[in-house]
């Protein structure tokens, strides 16, 4: 069997597109220590800083997203697409990869299209339960479409025969994160034995979630469980210092700006309240972690609500729309679950059943099949 020697990865804009690619790269490196990788992204995306820090060679091309309304800007995007595809072909010819894999974002358009035109095996990886516009555009050209939700298959229409449910490589990495029974006491000065709820709105925080969480703190201060509220750095900096001192000196509440080692912390949490981005849900299902999901209403095609519904319909999570969110509802939901171990256990089991914990191996096997 032919070994994988050289691969190009592409994906950008948000961490949800970048981190699965990096997780796959690390798994691929474990199977093929000598594999060489080139990552193609854009200078404006997070990938331009995140990827080089991982020691992976990085090249940038210029591409913008298509506007959903009729606009002259789309003429510029069309011209960019032609130029970017030509530039991507040059990079691909120089690198001579065995395969090109894209994990989403506008940059994947020209990169995967160029690879397909050069007759190089191609895979796109769709993390969400609603297919992104770039992946739908590429469905005709690529060889395989890897997915994380069964529901998304229909989005690819007549190309659905290319779809393979693989899961997200990020989930496998989370499971490999070492658990610590004392992380709550060591990192937050909390009780390692008490039930603990984690509330956060993503790495940058979410104002609506922060507001509801902050308004509930007075109530939670009197309860027999613990609350950790991660606000995001900029929102944390804006908080009143007296408020921070008041709650952070209590025995069961901690307000923090950001949690760097979230996968490790997750393993000591009983209930999470958070957004429903694809990477977060991958981590929750891999660990079997019960959740109350607050989908972001500010994303394309409302895909976070669709992601959340995939868990809700299986009994793995509950959902609150941001338009309905307030402190009283949040308190009510948390109280009902944290004092009902049987419900939490059912949610845990359902989440675990949804988790795919060998996604990297499935993707690597798919890659091997395509190049042989």
Cα–Cα distances in angstroms (integers) from residue 10 to residues 7, 59, 314, in the given order: 10, 10, 32
Report d(CA 360, CA 368) in Å as an integer.
12
- From the number of C-beta atoms within 10 Å of its C-beta (0-12, 13-18, 19+), residue 130 rates as buried
Is the CB of residue 118 less than 8 Å from the CB of residue 108?
Answer: no
**Is the CB of residue 253 less than 8 Å from the CB of residue 217?**
yes
- Residue 40 tokens read as 């193609």
Contact status, residue 22 vs residue 118, Cβ threshold 8 Å: no
Cβ contacts of 295 within 8 Å, gap of 6 or more: 275, 276, 302, 304, 305, 307, 308, 319, 321, 322
Q: Can you say which residues are annotated as belonging to the binding site? A: 14-16, 128, 203, 259, 304
Contact 288, 348 (CB under 8 A): yes
CB 125 within 8 A of CB 146: yes
Structure-token match 């490589």, residue found: 169
What does the longest C-alpha to C-alpha distance in the chain come to?
Answer: 65
Gap between the Cα atoms of 261 and 41, Å rounded: 25
CA 184 – CA 134 distance, rounded (Å): 41
In this structure, are residues 328 and 310 in contact, taking their beta carbons and an 8 Å threshold? no
Tally the C-alpha atoms within 13 A of residue 279's C-alpha that lie toward its C-beta: 19
SS3 assignment, position 115: helix
Tokens 């190089």 — which residue? 120
Residues of the binding site for UDP-N-acetyl-alpha-D-glucosamine: 14-16, 128, 203, 259, 304
| 63 contacts 80 by C-beta, under 8 angstroms | yes
Which pairs with CB-CB distance under 8 Å and at least 24 residues apart come from 73-76?
none
DSSP 158: G
């Amino acid at each position: 069997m032919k070994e994988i020697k050289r691969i190009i990865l592409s994906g950008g804009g948000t961490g949800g597109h970048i981190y699965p690619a990096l997780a796959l790269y690390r798994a691929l490196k474990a199977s093929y220590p000598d594999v060489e990788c080139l990552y193609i992204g854009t200078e404006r995306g997070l990938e331009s800083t995140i990827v080089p820090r991982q020691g992976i060679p990085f090249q940038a091309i210029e591409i913008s997203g298509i506007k959903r309304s009729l606009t002259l800007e789309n003429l510029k995007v069309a011209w960019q697409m032609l130029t970017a595809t030509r530039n991507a072909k040059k990079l691909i010819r120089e690198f001579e990869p065995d395969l090109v894999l894209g994990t989403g974002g506008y940059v994947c358009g020209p990169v995967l299209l160029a690879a397909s035109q050069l007759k190089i095996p191609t895979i796109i990886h769709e993390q969400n339960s609603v297919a992104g516009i770039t992946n739908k555009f590429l469905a005709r050209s690529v060889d395989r479409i890897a997915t994380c939700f069964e529901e998304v298959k229909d989005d690819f229409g007549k190309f659905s025969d290319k779809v393979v449910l693989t899961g997200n490589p990020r989930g496998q990495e989370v499971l490999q994160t070492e658990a610590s029974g004392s992380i709550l006491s060591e990192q937050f000065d909390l009780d390692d034995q008490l039930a603990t709820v984690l509330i956060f709105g993503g790495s940058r925080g979410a104002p609506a979630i922060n507001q509801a969480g902050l308004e509930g703190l007075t109530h939670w201060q009197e309860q027999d469980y613990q609350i950790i509220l991660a606000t995001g750095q900029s929102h944390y900096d804006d908080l009143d210092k007296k408020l921070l001192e008041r709650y952070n000196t209590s025995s069961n509440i901690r307000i923090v700006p950001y949690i760097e080692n979230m996968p490790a912390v997750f393993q000591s949490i009983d209930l999470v309240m958070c957004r429903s981005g694809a990477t977060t849900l991958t981590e929750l299902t891999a660990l079997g972690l019960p959740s109350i999901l607050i989908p972001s209403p500010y994303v394309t095609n409302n895909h976070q609500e669709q992601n959340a519904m995939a868990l809700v319909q299986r009994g793995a999570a509950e959902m609150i729309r941001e338009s309905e969110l307030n402190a009283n509802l949040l308190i009510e939901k948390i109280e009902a679950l944290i004092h009902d171990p049987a419900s939490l256990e059912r949610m845990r089991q359902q989440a675990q059943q949804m988790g795919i914990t060998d996604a990297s191996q499935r993707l690597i096997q798919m890659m091997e099949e395509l190049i042989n």
